[in-house]
Amino acid sequence: MAKSLNKLLIFTKSPVLGEVKTRLQPEYSTGQSLIIHKRLMLNTLELSKDLAGFDVELCCTPDRNTLFFLDCENNFPITLNNQQGADLGERMAFAFSVALQTYEKVVVIGTDCPDIDKDYITQAFDALNENNAVIGPAADGGYVLLGLRKFSLELFTNISWSSDKVFSQTQKVLNDLSWKYKELGIMHDLDRPEDLLRHENLLNEIS
């Protein structure tokens, strides 16, 4: 059976008070951090309305069956699934390995990068027409996007997740695999209080 073309995976956490955007604290309260997390997620999901011809899946942890996620499923052209695995690497590896069985091109993003837009995602899928992988580096040394045409567990093994080494370690694996890949422009995640200063619209929501 022929594979479908494009699958966008969006990784996110359940919006639980005190468990999201914790690096914004104590400068911002747990309640303010929760508002920011929800707004970032909704802004990211808005992209799904503009991505014609792309299937979009929200990959939830720990549980997709929350009222917030179910509302998202009703309001956006997405499907919901639970993330599977003990750490981020295992969870991404599982999601890619499953999606690549039925899709030609699979891209994963999170919900912490407000600068990701339709054009950036389109660039990623276009890059996969001629490359095995595409990666969008983050200014903090991680990455905000990873796209694959084929799967390798090595991309998700022995990576120092949540560190400034994630991009360089992943890049080394891609080079060791001798895969052709494209690097997109650098983006800024929103993790720390100083990151919020770049987004006046989000500051206004918690002021």
pTM for this entry: 0.95
Q: Which domains does the chain have, with CATH numbers?
A: 4-206 (3.90.550.10)
Q: Residue 1: is its pLDDT beyond 70?
A: no
CA-to-CA dists, residue 66 to 43, 72, 152, angstroms:
19, 10, 32
Mean pLDDT of 56-70: 94
Mean pLDDT of 173-199: 95
Beta strands 181-183 and 133-137, pairing class: parallel
Q: What's 58's DSSP letter?
A: E
Residue 182 in contact with residue 171, Cβ under 8 Å?
no
Residue 142 in contact with residue 189, Cβ under 8 Å?
yes
Residue 186 in contact with residue 135, Cβ under 8 Å?
no
Question: Residue type for 23, please?
Answer: R
Mean pLDDT of 53-58: 93
Burial 43-70 (b: 16+ CB within 10 A, else e): bbbebbeebeebbbbbbbeeebeeeebe
Strand partners, 12: 60
Could you give the percent of the chain with pLDDT greater than 70?
99
Distance CA 146, CA 156 (A): 11
Residue 147 in contact with residue 125, Cβ under 8 Å?
yes
Please give the pLDDT value at position 204: 85
Distance CA 89, CA 190 (A): 20
Please give the pLDDT value at position 2: 65
